[in-house]
Amino acid sequence: MRENVFQAIDRQYDKMVETRRYLHQYPEVSFHEEKTAQFIADTYERLGIPYESHVGGNGVVATLKGGKPGRTIALRADFDALPIQEENDVSYRSKHDGAMHACGHDGHTAALLGLAEALAPYQSELPGTVLFLHQHAEEYAPGGAKPMVEAGAIEEADAVFGTHLWVNAPTGVIQTSKGPFMAGADRFEITIKGKGGHGAQPHQTKDAIVIASQLVTTLQQVVSRRIDPLKTAVVTVGTLEAGGAFNVIADSAKLTGTVRTFDADVQDLIISEMEKITKGTCQGYDADYDFLYEKGYPPVINHTDEAEIILENAPKADTSLVTEEVDPVMAGEDFAYYLLEKPGAYYFTGAQIPDHYYPHHHPKFDFDESALPHAAKTLFQAYMSYQEKHPS
């Protein structure tokens, strides 16, 4: 049955590409994915696979119960887009101004739907139950995974697996790690409240831009001088906004940025140190401030046994595939919430276009569509390998 499903996935390739390109043309950003969710639901309706819509928001969960005993395993794909104006000149370019699938979620959805279509005819031979977990709003905290978990989407699952098409790895390479894999991702906003004035009379002001500039530099010392060098963290200031004009000293400035960590103690220390530095710097200039820190997604911590399933068995899905155990990356992912509830693993499916490399979230992002069957096959292989390792 397994080889038949793999062959069926290969036959689904053109359909997966068609689905991916359709979704790419009609992107919907986080928490606004109504038509995308309906498209997914309509596919399961056509396949005759029972499904539930509006799970934790716009989520869709379909259930394929096999004819043989076995475990229940969730396979996840996200389907939201980003608020980015596409710059690619392709036939499937986004038709929605200011919205783009710039991270591959259209491909994730196409791969999981392709797997469902390939697998449906073999339902009677399938051990256990597949939960096709289609998640909304991965890109924007608080995300879609947490409310889907709270809605009971994986309550019956014994394990959960997911993959991300990854343009940082060549097509044919499968990457994951045992334990920490992706970082927790937080957001901060610091508003400096100074006193504006004429550019020719700085002594009568409390220059918010000078204060903010001092903070940009000093905040970098949190990681370099307060965090154990054997632990990992990132503090990045992404924006600095201030009013005024070329001859006007601004009375306020705003910094926004992100913090990435793998350890809760490190996260707490960074929050404390950032606020101390902000307070001390502003006091030194006799200015006021507002400090807002929002904890985002927790880190993605793979379970060792399930990560080993990916590393040891993914090449069985396709002889062209190789696996690599890699160091964690500092990008964030709300797949973390599933792994807090159930055993599982998240992994990257290489999808790099050699002559068109632009990173995730870039206006010219695109991926190698020949990786779509790799994603579908390795998800199914993980499903089958888990069944074999944990017979019911």
Catalytic residue among 78, 138, 158, 273: 138
Q: Does 138 qualify as catalytic in the annotation?
A: yes
Give residue 392's pLDDT band: very low, low, confident or very high (50, 70, 90).
Answer: confident
* Spatial distance between the Cα atoms of 337 and 145, rounded to a whole number of angstroms: 6
Q: Does 80 qualify as catalytic in the annotation?
A: yes
**Residue in this structure with the two tokens 């307060």, named with its chain if needed:** 226
For β-strands 179-182 and 300-302, DSSP reports them as: antiparallel
Say whether 184-297 and 2-183+299-389 share the same fold.
no
Q: pLDDT tens digits for 93-106?
A: 999 999 999 999 99
Catalytic residue among 28, 33, 78, 80: 80
Q: Which residues does residue 348 pair with via DSSP β-bridges, in sequence order?
A: 164, 175
Q: Is 342 left (phi over 0), alpha (psi -120 to 50) or beta?
A: beta
Answer yes or no: are the C-beta atoms of 104 and 367 closer than 8 Å: yes
Q: pLDDT tens digits for 46-57?
A: 999 999 999 999
- pLDDT value for 191: 98
**Helix or strand holding residue 282 (H, E):** helix 264-284
Q: Where are the chain's structural domains? A: 2-183+299-389, 184-297
Q: What is the average pLDDT value for the chain, to the nearest integer?
A: 97
b/e for 61-72, b at 16 or more Cβ within 10 A? bbbbebeeebbb
First to last CA, the chain: 19
Q: Which residues does residue 253 pair with via DSSP β-bridges, in sequence order?
A: 192, 242
Single-letter residue type at 26: Y
Give residue 244's pLDDT band: very low, low, confident or very high (50, 70, 90).
Answer: confident
Whether domain 2-183+299-389 has CATH 3.40.630.10: the reply is yes
Answer yes or no: are the C-beta atoms of 359 and 169 closer than 8 Å: no
Answer yes or no: are the C-beta atoms of 154 and 48 closer than 8 Å: no
Q: What percent of the chain has pLDDT over 70?
A: 100
Q: pLDDT tens digits for 29-80?
A: 999 999 999 999 999 999 999 999 999 999 999 999 999 999 999 999 999 9
Fold classification of 184-297 is Alpha-Beta Plaits (3.30.70)
Mean pLDDT of 357-368: 97
- Please say if the pLDDT value at position 370 is more than 90: yes
